[in-house]
């Protein structure tokens, strides 16, 4: 054979003519198991690959789907990085031992202590990389802003027949109740939950966008929603969304009483990560200025890193606010007593 022939075999390149073996550069990659379902994250992932050369293999499902998959895979799980939405779900994953505690000075310096899990076995199981606020919306024609400017006031008799929310079993609701338990104690939160049930305009149902539209239509007087749903509708050019937003008022709750409830989207390294070096690179990238700006501009979330400036016009239009300082780790831990409390008071 006169011609030189190169044959690729696994990690090596064989030269038949020359009779030598060259070690090929290994392909850098990581396996991302993500419950984030936002199309704008495509730019986030492609930016990481462009900067590092690391290919991202994605497994995407809702939070329960991701958790069930990792559970079924057991020690054979190929998850390098696990991204979940809401502290309650991240805490569940931690309790199932799905995370490998991570040691990173960069992450510890960038992500505030209240937005990450408690240090465990010499490392941190998971970090919050973006935040969203649990805000109050109300019908401007029928409800006075002063009657609904705190979570506690939603349970007052003045709001009887006005309140709408998601199901009491949804993690967004469980996390809010978990935060209230941490802030006000179990007994006070139970009284609040009973008042909420008494004030319901309808049985809890639907997503956050449904709550906003129900308030706009007059079916509900007041509702809870995550801030990014409201910001998304503000940016919409759909006539129905524009009409709904024009009829709905927006409140930063508890500005003089503990601050608005904050939750997160976050993640950590998989316990059996086959590519731990690349996984750590990705986690640290998520705390970089460029990634934090993607979270804000792409999905109307606030950066977890406090020094990153928000340029999103919809978020800026909502104004400044005081957020709670409750640890998201404590919020996750409280989801079990929160669910028991809601079940006891008949919060469906």
Helices (H), the chain: 41-52, 63-73, 87-95, 105-110, 171-184, 186-198, 208-217, 227-235, 239-247, 276-286, 289-299, 313-317, 328-333, 335-344
Identify the band that residue 7 occupies on the pLDDT scale cut at 50, 70 and 90.
very low
306 pLDDT more than 80 = yes
Query: Can you read off the two tokens belonging to residue 337?
Result: 């007593």
CATH classification of the domain holding 284: 3.40.190.10
Query: Can you read off the two tokens belonging to residue 56?
Result: 């991202």
The domain containing residue 119 runs over which residues?
A: 28-348
Identify the pLDDT of residue 40: 80
Identify the pLDDT of residue 122: 86
Query: Can you read off the two tokens belonging to residue 215?
Result: 């308030």
**13 inside domain:** no
Mean pLDDT across 316-324: 94
Q: What secondary structure does DSSP assign to 48-97, as a single string? A: HHHHH--EEEEEE--HHHHHHHHHHHGGG---SEEEEESHHHHHHHHHTT
Identify the pLDDT of residue 175: 96
Mean pLDDT across 131-148: 98
9 pLDDT more than 50 = no
Is the Cβ–Cβ distance between 43 and 294 less than 8 Å?
Answer: yes
Identify the band that residue 26 occupies on the pLDDT scale cut at 50, 70 and 90.
low
Mean confidence (pLDDT) of the chain: 92
**23 inside domain:** no
Identify the band that residue 25 occupies on the pLDDT scale cut at 50, 70 and 90.
low
Mean pLDDT across 129-148: 97
Provide the pairing of β-strand 29-34 with 55-60: parallel
Q: Is 213 helix (H, G, I), strand (E, B) or coil?
A: helix
Is the Cβ–Cβ distance between 227 and 132 less than 8 Å?
Answer: yes
- Report d(CA 278, CA 347) in Å as an integer: 44
**131 inside domain:** yes
Identify the pLDDT of residue 217: 98
Is the Cβ–Cβ distance between 268 and 283 less than 8 Å?
Answer: yes
Is the Cβ–Cβ distance between 77 and 270 less than 8 Å?
Answer: yes
Identify the pLDDT of residue 120: 85
Task: Encode pLDDT of 51-109 as tens digits.
Answer: 999 999 999 999 999 999 999 999 999 999 999 999 999 999 999 999 999 999 999 99
Q: Which of 3-7, 142-146, 160-164 has the lowest mean pLDDT?
A: 3-7
Identify the pLDDT of residue 14: 40
Identify the band that residue 16 occupies on the pLDDT scale cut at 50, 70 and 90.
very low
Mean pLDDT across 34-42: 87
pTM (two decimals): 0.88
Environment class of 311 (CB within 10 Å of its CB; exposed 0-12, middle 13-18, buried 19+): exposed
1 pLDDT more than 70 = no
Q: How many domains does the chain have?
A: 1
**51 inside domain:** yes
Task: Encode pLDDT of 208-254 as tens digits.
Answer: 999 999 999 999 999 999 999 999 999 999 999 999 999 999 999 99
Identify the pLDDT of residue 39: 79
Identify the band that residue 200 occupies on the pLDDT scale cut at 50, 70 and 90.
very high
Identify the pLDDT of residue 237: 95
Identify the pLDDT of residue 38: 81
Identify the band that residue 121 occupies on the pLDDT scale cut at 50, 70 and 90.
confident
Identify the pLDDT of residue 23: 52
Is the Cβ–Cβ distance between 222 and 251 less than 8 Å?
Answer: no
Mean pLDDT across 166-186: 96
**153 inside domain:** yes
**118 inside domain:** yes
Mean pLDDT across 21-37: 79
Considering only residues 4 and 297, tell me which one the structure prediction assigns the higher pLDDT.
Answer: 297
Residue 293: phi and psi, rounded to 5, are -70, -35
**235 inside domain:** yes
**7 inside domain:** no
């Amino acid at each position: 054979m006169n011609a030189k022939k190169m044959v690729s075999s696994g990690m090596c390149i064989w030269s038949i003519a020359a009779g030598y073996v060259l070690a090929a550069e290994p392909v850098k990659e990581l396996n991302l198991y993500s419950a984030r379902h936002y199309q704008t994250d495509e730019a986030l992932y492609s930016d990481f690959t462009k900067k590092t050369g690391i290919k991202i293999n994605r497994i995407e499902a809702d939070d329960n789907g991701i958790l069930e998959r990792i559970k079924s895979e057991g020690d054979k799980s190929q998850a390098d990085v696990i991204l979940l939405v809401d502290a309650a779900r991240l805490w569940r994953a931690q309790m199932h031992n799905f995370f490998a505690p991570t040691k990173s000075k960069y992450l510890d310096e960038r992500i505030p202590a209240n937005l990450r899990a408690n240090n465990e076995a010499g490392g941190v199981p998971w970090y919050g990389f973006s935040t969203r606020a649990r805000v109050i919306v109300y019908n401007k024609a029928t409800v006075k802003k002063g009657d609904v400017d705190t979570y506690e006031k939603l349970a007052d008799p003045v709001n009887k027949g006005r309140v709408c929310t998601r199901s009491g079993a949804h993690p967004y609701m469980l996390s809010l109740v978990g935060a209230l338990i941490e802030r006000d104690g179990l007994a006070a939160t139970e009284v609040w939950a009973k008042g909420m049930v008494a004030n319901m305009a309808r049985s809890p149902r639907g997503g956050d966008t449904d709550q906003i539209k129900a308030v706009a239509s007059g079916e509900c007087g007041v509702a809870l929603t995550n801030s990014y749903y409201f910001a998304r509708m503000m940016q919409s050019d759909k006539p129905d969304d524009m009409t709904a937003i024009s009829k709905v008022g927006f409140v930063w709750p508890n500005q003089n009483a503990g601050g608005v409830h904050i939750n997160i989207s976050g993640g950590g390294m998989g316990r059996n990560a086959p590519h731990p070096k690349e996984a750590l690179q990705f986690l640290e990238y998520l705390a970089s200025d460029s990634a934090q700006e993607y979270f804000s501009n792409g999905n109307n979330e606030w950066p977890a890193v406090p020094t990153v400036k928000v340029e999103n016009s919809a978020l800026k239009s909502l104004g400044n606010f005081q957020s709670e300082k409750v640890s998201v780790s404590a919020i996750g831990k409280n989801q079990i007593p929160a669910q028991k409390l809601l079940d006891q008071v008949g919060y469906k």
